[in-house]
Amino acid sequence: MKKKAMITGASRGIGAAAARALAQEGYDLFLICKSSGQAVKDVAADLEKAYHIHCETALCDVSDASQVETMMKQAGEIHVLVNNAAISFVGLLTDMSIKQWRQVIDTNLNALFYTCRLVVPQMVRRREGKIINVSSIWGNAGASMEVAYSASKGGVNSFTRALAKELAPSNVQVNAVAFGVIDTSMNACFSKEEMEALREEIPADRLGSPEEAGEMIRMLVNAPSYLTGQIITMDGGYC
């Protein structure tokens, strides 16, 4: 039986790029998104045709524990879990509603608990598995006007380190990538001038591409098993 990778937030951006990178490695895929059903099906069809793998899709709001439980019954055996789904809120903390705060924390952090608690038992049973969490440099350093997002990604980092220690005796590796500014639709809220000012602060003088992010995730999937509990920063030299 071929190995299968599950990727959340897989209809576009980093998630879709990670799906392509793992399809190139021969993984069958289980691709999840919240609402872009046709987009994720298009990604799946393209990858199946290009790489002759089997690709399933599911609509699932990973911030909802009951939906994750239902989805996991469909997914079957998972060898690689990529927790990528995330949302952001840009604005003053005092302008956030309680509902908006909860949406960010539920989607970016609580979802890791919902997916991992269901995938980990099978990985432990097999004594094999890789969990890769998509984090952010703002989880390392914090960002003004993005307090909830920064807090959630800081939580992702701590979650990663702690779970890695818990699972290391079972030969299951847990790592995260703290990405810098990647050229995805999450940046659509910023003006052209704001994006240009941000680019000028990056020593590499450009934004990262989703393809580079996908390649980094592939490298972690293929990394030696002794690499675990790490937060790998990929930011063009920004921090």
Residues annotated as catalytic are 149
* Encoded tokens for 204: 């590499």
CB 133 within 8 A of CB 86: no
CA distance 163 to 116: 9
DSSP string, 14-75: HHHHHHHHHHHTT-EEEEEESS-HHHHHHHHHHHHHHH---EEEEE--TT-HHHHHHHHHHH
Half-sphere exposure of 46 (CA within 13 A, CB side): 14
| Angle (CA) 150 212 58, round 5° | 70
